[in-house]
């Protein structure tokens, strides 16, 4: 069974997202918990959530992979920006409990010159304030391309954050194929050793979701420019090997490719086909 989907607009509510996912041939999806640039989240409509939960169960959806606003910076140098990140994540996690047991993915942050170690400490400190032992949501750190001063540009940095979090069982990692490629992990020629390295440094039990994107740029470019599946430097053959890799099975796969609905439907069908071969 493969769980695959794309990002879907949250503007019309949960049931609308579920229906849109079905239209694309998806059985999971990602959505921004609020405007990706931040701002106030929409009021939760419990009847809408209930209709969505019924639909997701009826169609055997996999776990959803919600995405925090990408402006959120848990390791900013300015205290007011960190406070905003903390309040945003706390509010998002409270809202996530309306759809229990899913994933909440966020970009660890940019240390903006404070240094990687300071960044790691600030991210873990924020998580330790926000995570609740009774929450049902698992929070995912996303692997990053290493653009600017991003924390999470290698597996060791993510491991260092995880090591400092108290509620470890509420944490996981989302592997973004474009980001790890841009960060220097050669998933085209050495997928097996990248998977082994992930397992050795972080542990594959911590790998909860995959963002599947091709990259416009070469290995180690640290750029983070997504490309359509098979149209970039990673290529379709490598995508097929990722989909079929025995150690990567069972995780929800989310497309963040520059596409319209028809493009996503096509990519979902294409990748689903690989898994059914």
Q: What residue ranges bind Fe ion (CB under 5 A)?
A: 142, 176, 211
- Report yes or no: 256 and 229 within 8 Å, Cβ to Cβ: no
Least separation in angstroms between CB 225 and Zn ion = 8
Q: Does 214 bind Zn ion (CB under 5 A)?
A: no
Which does residue 227 bind out of Fe ion, Zn ion, none, counting CB within 5 to 8 angstroms by kind?
Answer: none
- Find the helix or strand (DSSP H, E) in which 277 lies: none
CB closer to Zn ion, 31 vs 61 = 31
Among 224, 227, 240, 267, binds Zn ion (CB under 5 A): 224
Decide: residue 125, CB within 10 A, 0-12 exposed, 13-18 middle, 19+ buried: middle
Tokens read off for 249: 């099975």
Give the Cα separation of 38 and 32 in Å (integer): 10
**Which residue is associated with the tokens 């229906």?**
19
Least separation in angstroms between CB 227 and Fe ion = 13
Least separation in angstroms between CB 239 and Fe ion = 15
Give the Cα separation of 120 and 123 in Å (integer): 5
- Cα Rg, the chain, nearest whole Å: 18
CB closer to Fe ion, 160 vs 254 = 254
CB closer to Fe ion, 15 vs 215 = 215
Which does residue 211 bind out of Zn ion, Fe ion, none, counting CB within 5 to 8 angstroms by kind?
Answer: Fe ion
Which does residue 224 bind out of Fe ion, Zn ion, none, counting CB within 5 to 8 angstroms by kind?
Answer: Zn ion
CB closer to Zn ion, 18 vs 152 = 152
Segment contacting Zn ion (CB under 5 A): 41-49, 96-104, 201-209, 223-231? 223-231
CB closer to Fe ion, 36 vs 235 = 36
Q: What is the 3-state secondary structure (H, E, C) of 11-64?
A: CCCHHHHHHHHHHCCCCCCECECCCCCCCCCCCCCHHHHHHHHHHHHHCCCCCC
- Find the helix or strand (DSSP H, E) in which 209 lies: strand 207-212
Which does residue 159 bind out of Zn ion, Fe ion, none, counting CB within 5 to 8 angstroms by kind?
Answer: none
Bridge partner residues of 224 (DSSP)? none
Least separation in angstroms between CB 111 and Zn ion = 18
CB closer to Fe ion, 10 vs 15 = 10
Give the Cα separation of 106 and 139 in Å (integer): 8
Residues that bind Zn ion (CB under 5 A): 224
């Amino acid at each position: 069974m493969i769980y695959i989907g794309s990002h879907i607009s949250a503007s019309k509510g949960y049931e609308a997202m579920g229906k849109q996912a079905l239209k694309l041939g998806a059985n999971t999806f990602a959505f921004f918990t609020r405007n990706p640039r931040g701002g106030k989240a929409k009021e939760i409509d419990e009847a809408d959530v209930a209709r969505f939960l019924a639909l997701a169960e009826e169609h055997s959806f996999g776990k959803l992979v919600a995405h925090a606003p990408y402006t959120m910076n848990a390791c900013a140098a300015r205290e007011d920006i960190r406070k905003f990140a903390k309040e945003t994540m706390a509010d998002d996690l409270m809202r996530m409990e309306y759809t229990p047991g899913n994933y909440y993915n966020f970009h660890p942050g940019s240390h903006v010159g404070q240094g990687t170690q300071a960044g790691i400490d600030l991210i873990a400190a924020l998580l330790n304030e926000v995570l609740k032992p009774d929450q049902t949501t698992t929070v995912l750190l996303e692997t990053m391309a290493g653009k600017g001063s991003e924390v999470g540009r290698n597996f060791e940095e993510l491991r260092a954050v995880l090591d400092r979090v108290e509620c470890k069982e509420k944490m996981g990692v989302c592997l973004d194929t474009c980001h790890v490629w841009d960060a220097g992990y050669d998933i085209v020629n050495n997928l097996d050793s990248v998977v082994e390295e992930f397992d050795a440094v972080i542990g594959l039990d911590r790998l909860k979701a995959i963002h599947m994107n091709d990259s416009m740029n070469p290995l180690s470019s640290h750029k983070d420019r997504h490309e359509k599946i098979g149209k970039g430097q990673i290529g379709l053959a490598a995508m097929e090997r990722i989909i079929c890799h025995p150690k990567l099975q069972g995780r929800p796969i989310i497309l963040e490719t520059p596409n319209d609905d028809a493009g996503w439907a096509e990519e979902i069908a294409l990748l689903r086909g690989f898994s059914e071969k």
